[in-house]
């Protein structure tokens, strides 16, 4: 009877070690994917407001910038050839 408990404990220990190893491998793979996504960038059209201080005329201007240069509050155009963007954003208007 004591022998069956030892076998059961060994199976539990082996299962735990395998589970921990799989968890470590999956975590490492996820971290490498996140690191690779963080390096991803593309050129986008950023909309900026320009105005002459004397005339107070507002004009929208489109400038091509790297997606790494985006800051909160920027308005940009999603390129048609890309369906994913390397940033958090809110879709204001558009169609799919």
**How many residues are present in the chain?**
96
* pTM value > 0.75: no
Domain co-membership, 57 together with 93? yes
Residue predicted with more confidence, 54 or 29: 29
Lowest mean pLDDT among 9-18, 34-43, 49-58: 49-58
Residues 14 and 46 in one domain: no
Residue 12 sits in the same domain as residue 54: no
* Stretch 47-73: mean pLDDT: 74
Distance CA 92, CA 4 (A): 65
**Residue 82 sits in which domain range?**
42-96
Same domain (yes/no): 52, 96: yes
- What is the tens place of the pLDDT at every residue in 27-47? 999 999 888 877 777 888 888
């Amino acid at each position: 009877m004591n022998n069956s408990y030892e076998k059961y404990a060994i199976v539990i220990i082996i299962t735990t070690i395998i589970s921990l190893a799989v968890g470590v491998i999956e975590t490492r793979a996820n971290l490498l994917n996140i690191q690779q996504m963080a390096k991803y960038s593309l050129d986008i059209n950023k909309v900026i407001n320009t105005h002459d201080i004397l005339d107070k005329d507002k004009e929208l201007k489109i400038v091509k910038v790297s997606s790494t240069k985006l800051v909160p509050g920027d308005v940009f155009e999603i390129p048609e050839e890309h369906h994913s963007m390397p940033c958090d954003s809110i879709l204001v208007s558009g169609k799919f």
